[in-house]
Amino acid sequence: MTTSTEDLVTLLAEDGTAIGTAPRPTVHTTETPLHLAFSCYLTDASGRLLLTRRALSKKTWPGVWTNSFCGHPRPGEDIAEAITRHARHELGLEVTDVRPAVPDFRYRAVDASGVVENEICPVFVATTTQEPEPNPEEVAEHRWVEPREAVQTVEVAPWAVSPWMVAQVERLVAAGHLPESASG
């Protein structure tokens, strides 16, 4: 199998400095090295938040509900450009007003199959005026929700969403990007 140089992820040292690259399809294993990623939360003109359910064919957390979309910037690629690229690829959307929300987010999680996520994963928020046209290889379902509904889901059923969304929502609430409580 040949791997395009465009499908590389940036490997990171513990302090976050780049130390090399690896083909994306080979990175997520039971011993995933620390690497660079991003998460993005999209809102529409009404202020609704887009949640997606990961495709059943995804290597990690298949079929799990999560934030709007995630991805890996290519080596040397600006993260805002990677966000734009992934929004088009995964959701068929154009995004605007891309801005950092939790720039220092980092996590490590192990899914039920033993595959590890180990990422420095800055979190961004952005907006769109379009309806998603999901790529079925990436997204099984999507739903626009009120931000309070997303917070409430994490509060009452953290097992039903991705572990990174659970941790990110807590940080997004603390940073003022999501409402403080589901009932307030």
CA 88 and chain centroid, separation: 14
Binding site residue list: 28, 35, 72, 90, 117, 119
Identify whether 40 is a catalytic site residue.
no
Identify whether 121 is a catalytic site residue.
no
Binding site residue list for Mn(2+): 28, 35, 72, 117, 119
Marked catalytic residue, from 119, 121, 141, 155: 119
Binding site residue list for Mg(2+): 90
β-sheet bridge partners, residue 36? 120
Marked catalytic residue, from 70, 81, 133, 137: 70
Contact of 88 with 128, CB cutoff 8 Å: no
Catalytic residues: 70, 119
